[in-house]
């Protein structure tokens, strides 16, 4: 089965039930569509693409902010047999141009937020067969998406698509370098439905509140659990704590996937009195889960003080594994918070050394995974593919260890390990320690070049609102760490994270590792 068949099945079983809701709190707007409307509009867009001679294997790029149309267009592209290429909404004009040319895109679909960026590169996009604009005022140089819907039939196109056919090309988040295009198959996408449903046991009556960007594998693959059972989902365009809580309350959301910064923002808002939990109806909110980054145990302990009846899960994954779920904590294992968990449904995981030899429990090495979501490879890059795919195993680049109960803990990205005087220092261990300090909102630890030791750890610290603490106090706080792990310098600054919550350490190295070395 494919995810397009799941959509068609939902349109037959639940034609007049709501499939998607879109909320835009800043303008107080709400839209919704049924499963039948979802299927019909996806078919109309597919038939438009086919009329433009888009064929199986052609690449269609999608550059939009989260909205109902994002998913309608995504499924419309897949129904033609073409390969969908979701683009990061943070990409600048030159990055967009490079991505389009890298995959030889035939069509670009984009929203009004990107008019200025696209206008800068329009003259270089002659290779495109069509440009489609999704907005209220159409760009004269593009076709109007909303007019197109009225011109093409709602019948499903008759295209034979197998599980091994290429479905999507996703660019990596680029937290450790230049983004690489990842090929995912239809079988990969469908496997994410099974994994998500098995882990979180979605029911048809549930409502998944989706906040992170749809261009990334994380949010969309979690939503695939809703698709699998035909349950409602709500797309929230905004991340203010009061918006999140209001959406949960008014839309009766039961399942919410959050990122660490948003959890911290909600807790800060509760503690400061900015939001009053009694003003919201949250009894039906049964599951909060987090992914995309290591989760400080102190954060979840604090969350459970306010939401003691909620289930909790941690989800680990990467774009190369079709998003979250290759390793997950499991809602029954909250006592192991701090671990990323055990292999997900249908997955295997190991900790190996640099030669690929499995390590003993407690020994730190690279996390490798094997399962139904492992990518086909990097697009037109066999050398890069060969470095991370070996005998069916995906080498994640993340360092971790397994405890005696089989639970895996992350210690850092392989490229982020700091080697100081011959000692390996894993920044996540220091970050988790500092996160427990009550004045700190977020923290990132990076290695600064040092003449004597090679590298030394420094901490970039973002304080909570209206909190004040000195560098000297924090350095003294860090005396509880082993001497070689203690940060040698504290820098107070905003900690940058990408739209999926991952630390953008290359930006911090570029900004701060050029300052004078510490003797």
Count of alpha carbons within 13 angstroms of residue 33, beta-carbon side: 19
The per-residue pLDDT for range 137-157, each reduced to its tens digit, is 766 778 999 998 899 999 999
List CB contacts of 11: < 8 A, sequence separation 6 or more. 35, 36, 38, 39, 40
Segments of the chain assigned to CATH 3.30.300.30? 417-512
Residue 364 DSSP class = -
User: Does CATH place domain 1-9+27-161 in 1.10.3720.10?
Assistant: no
pLDDT greater at residue 11 or residue 419: 11
Q: Does residue 175 have a pLDDT over 60? A: no
Q: Does residue 294 have a pLDDT over 70? A: no
Q: CA separation (Å) from 103 to 72, 145, 382? A: 22, 23, 15
pLDDT, mean of residues 65-80: 97
Q: What is the pTM of this model?
A: 0.84
Q: By the 8 A CB rule, do 255 and 286 touch?
A: yes
Segments of the chain assigned to CATH 3.40.50.980? 1-9+27-161
Count of alpha carbons within 13 angstroms of residue 419, beta-carbon side: 4
Q: Does residue 264 have a pLDDT over 70? A: yes
Residue 66 pLDDT class (50, 70, 90 cuts): very high
CA dihedral sign of residues 210, 214, 218, 222: positive
Residue 176 pLDDT class (50, 70, 90 cuts): very low
The per-residue pLDDT for range 101-113, each reduced to its tens digit, is 999 999 999 999 9
pLDDT for residue 257: 93
Alpha-carbon torsion, ordered 465, 255, 210, 460, to 10 deg = 30
pLDDT for residue 178: 60
Nearest CA-CA partner of 504 in 68, 88, 28: 88
Q: Identify the helix (H) or strand (E) that includes residue 395.
A: strand 393-402
Residue with tokens 């680990």: 316
Paired tokens of 389: 């795919």
Which CATH code fits 417-512?
3.30.300.30
The per-residue pLDDT for range 443-463, each reduced to its tens digit, is 999 888 876 677 889 999 999
pLDDT for residue 173: 61
């Amino acid at each position: 089965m494919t995810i397009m068949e799941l959509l068609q099945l939902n349109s037959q079983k639940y034609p007049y039930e709501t499939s998607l809701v879109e909320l835009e709190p800043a303008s107080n707007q709400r839209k919704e569509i049924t499963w039948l409307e979802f299927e019909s509009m996806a078919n109309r867009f597919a038939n438009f693409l086919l009329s433009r001679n888009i064929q199986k294997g052609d690449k269609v790029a999608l550059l939009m902010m989260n909205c109902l149309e994002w998913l309608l267009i995504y499924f419309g592209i897949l129904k033609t047999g073409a390969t969908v290429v979701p683009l990061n909404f943070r990409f600048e004009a030159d990055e967009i141009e490079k991505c389009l040319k890298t995959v030889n895109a035939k069509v670009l679909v984009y929203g009004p937020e990107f008019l200025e960026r696209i206008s800068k590169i329009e003259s270089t996009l002659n290779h495109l067969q069509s440009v489609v604009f999704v907005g209220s005022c159409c760009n004269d140089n593009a076709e109007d998406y909303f007019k197109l819907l009225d011109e093409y039939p709602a019948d499903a196109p008759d295209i034979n698509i197998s599980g091994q056919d290429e479905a999507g090309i996703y660019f990596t988040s680029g937290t450790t370098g230049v983004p690489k295009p990842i090929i995912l198959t239809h079988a990969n996408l469908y496997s994410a439905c099974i994994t998500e449903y098995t882990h979180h046991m979605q029911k048809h009556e549930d409502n998944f509140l989706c906040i992170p960007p749809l261009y990334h594998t994380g949010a969309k693959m979690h939503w695939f659990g809703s698709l699998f059972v035909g349950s409602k989902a709500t797309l929230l365009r905004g991340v203010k704590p009061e918006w999140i809580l209001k959406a949960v309350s008014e839309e009766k959301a039961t399942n919410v996937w959050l990122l660490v910064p948003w959890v911290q923002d909600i807790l800060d808002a509760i503690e400061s009195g900015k939001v009053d939990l009694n003003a919201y109806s949250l009894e039906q909110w049964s599951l909060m889960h987090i992914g995309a980054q290591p989760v400080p145990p102190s954060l979840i302990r604090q969350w459970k003080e306010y939401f003691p009846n909620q289930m909790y899960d941690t989800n680990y994954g990467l774009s190369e594994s079709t998003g979250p779920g290759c390793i997950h904590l499991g809602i029954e294992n909250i006592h192991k918070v701090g671990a990323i968990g055990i292999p997900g449904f249908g997955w295997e995981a190991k900790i190996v050394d640099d030669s690929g030899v499995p390590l003993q429990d407690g020994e730190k090495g690279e996390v490798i995974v094997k399962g139904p979501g492992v990518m086909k490879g990097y697009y037109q890059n066999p050398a890069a593919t060969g470095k991370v795919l070996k005998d069916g195993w995906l080498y994640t680049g993340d360092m971790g260890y397994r405890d005696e109960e089989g639970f895996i803990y992350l210690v850092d990205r392989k490229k982020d390990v700091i080697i100081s005087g011959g000692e390996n220092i894993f920044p996540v261990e220091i970050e988790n320690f500092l996160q427990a300090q009550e004045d700190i909102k977020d923290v990132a630890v990076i290695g600064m070049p040092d003449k004597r030791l090679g590298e030394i750890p420094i901490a970039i610290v973002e304080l909570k609102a209206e909190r004040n603490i000195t560098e000297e106090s924090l350095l003294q706080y860090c005396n509880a760490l082993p001497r070689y792990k203690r940060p040698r310098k504290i820098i107070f600054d905003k900690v940058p994270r990408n739209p999926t919550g991952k630390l953008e350490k290359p930006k911090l190295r570029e900004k701060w590792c050029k300052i004078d070395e510490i003797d």
